[in-house]
A = this chain, B = another copy of it.
Amino acid sequence: MDKLQIKTYLESNKDRFLDELFGLIRLSSVSADEKFKEDIIRAANYIVEKLKEAGADHAEICETAGHPIVFGEKITDPSKPTVLVYGHYDVQPADPYDLWETPPFEPVIRNGKIYARGSCDDKGQMYMHIKAMEVMNHLGDMPCNIKFIIEGEEEVGSNNLEIFINENKEKLKTDVILISDTTLIDNDTPSLTVGLRGLSYVEVEVTGPSRDLHSGVYGGAVDNPVNVLCKMIDALKDKNNRITIPGFYDRVIELSEEDRKALNEAPFDLDEYKKDLGIRSVAGEKGYTTLERVGIRPSLDINGIWGGYTGAGAKTVLPSKAYAKISMRLVPNQNNKEITEMFTKYFKSIAPDSVEVKVTPHHGGQPALTPTDSIAYLAASMAFEESWGKKPIPTRDGGSIPIVALFKDALGADTVLMGFGLDSDAIHSPNEHYGLFNFYKGIETIPLFHKYFSELHNSV
């Protein structure tokens, strides 16, 4: 199997590959909301069917307490190394719908990009692996055994995946985990993600008076839970944008000057970055660059806030309750459960006596660092170099794939994060998209990884 053979088969099947991906994207498999449950089931079944068509020995739906997990495998020779591909078929909610230029679950091509919810995260990136298996199968060259574990709850915390993995360690036994759910620096600058942030996500409820009040009759004499919530949120960061939760930074590893210098040498154009986001200036923790702020520093964001009257016109209400969804991104060595506890304790401690505060943890995940001195990383690096003609740069991403730490614990296997997306793909946002270049580049590069991983594995 060489690059030319892969490209030839890919070229003559590219339209069908895209059609199949479109079929998957059209299923609105939003995991956060029960009303999409039917499409969740349809999406899982669709993947089972496509795994079989692509040459899997078998593929199955595995029921969980939540949305089902798809498992599939093609074992060609027990003496070959095994690659476990992880991906997810669930997607983020598409709200706000009115900001989409075309409907989120009706994929269209514009400017060489697939526009749809899940086009990149993670249907497009995950589906490359199924098509890569088809390519290798067609060429009659399977360098590794392949297993697939495609879940439906990644966007809501992967709670049932952990149980499933721990109950099926033998079935999932592997030499490496392969995941495409991260990004390249740009289409001309290949990169491999070696660090991911963890996540602690909570919802807070602040209750003031037991009923909504008239803001004229009571305003100024009774604490307003929205004002109080704003004050409490503001108190979570100091004037240098450092998070004020006691102990929050205790486990954060400060990088050496040398490592920071290396990190900041990655290609990055601040003007382009600001232009892409439509902002005049960036902002964040004092003393760190933008790349450091998302790569090696934790963060805290309000993902949603609501309270009082939010309809048309004016209502002079002093509301009874105010709510916010708050998430913290964590860096290696921080522990998400510990951080959630610290947040809860601190947030309650800064509440005035006039309100009640409830904190509900949503989900979390551990930060992760993947090794750069493994044969798996080397295989990925070689595959990228062959595909692009240049060596990939190791990078640290701001996002979270909690499953990486989980796989290491449960299966003892390291992960290779071989992402083909771009930061500008607007994942989790309206008008999410994924480049056709990236989709096809992935399908072309993945078989090369299998080839080099097998070669290196056998030569160890």
Contact = CB atoms under 8 A, between A and B. Distances in A.
Interface stretch (A18-26, A300-308, A406-414): A300-308
A42 to B, nearest CB: 20
Nearest to A196: B216
Contacts of A363: 314
A306 B305 contact: yes
Contacts of A231: 230, 233-234
B399 A214 contact: yes
A4 interface: no
Contact of A217 (B282, B308, B423): B423
B303 A428 contact: no
Interface string A303-318: 1111111111111111
Contacts of A215: 299, 301, 303, 327, 329, 428
A92 interface: yes
A281 to B, nearest CB: 5
A211 B423 CA distance: 13
Contact of A281 (B99, B226, B316, B353): B353
Interface stretch (A132-140, A283-291, A339-347, A371-379): A283-291
B397 A216 contact: yes
B329 A277 contact: no
Interface string A207-239: 011111111111111111011011101100100
Contacts of A284: 220-222
B354 A282 contact: yes
A325 interface: yes
Contact of A226 (B33, B285, B302, B313): B302
A322 interface: yes
A364 to B, nearest CB: 10
Contacts of A201: 314, 316
A279 interface: yes
Interface in A263-296: 277-285, 290, 293-294
A398 B430 contact: no
A76 to B, nearest CB: 36
A108 interface: no
Interface string A227-269: 1011101100100000000000000000000000000000000
A227 B302 CA distance: 6
Interface residues of A, number: 100
Most buried by B among A95, A212, A311, A400: A212
Contacts of A99: 211-212
Given A230-B233, A304-B309, A298 B428 contact: no
A362 interface: yes
A297 interface: yes
A196 to B, nearest CB: 8
A198 B307 CA distance: 24
A93 interface: yes
A436 interface: no
Nearest to A296: B220
A197 B31 CA distance: 49
A305 B95 contact: no
A283 B219 CA distance: 10
A431 interface: yes
A213 B283 CA distance: 15
B428 A213 contact: yes
A199 interface: yes
16 contacts: A211-B426, A212-B426, A215-B327, A219-B294, A219-B301, A220-B298, A220-B301, A222-B279, A222-B284, A226-B301, A230-B230, A282-B354, A304-B319, A305-B307, A308-B325, A317-B429
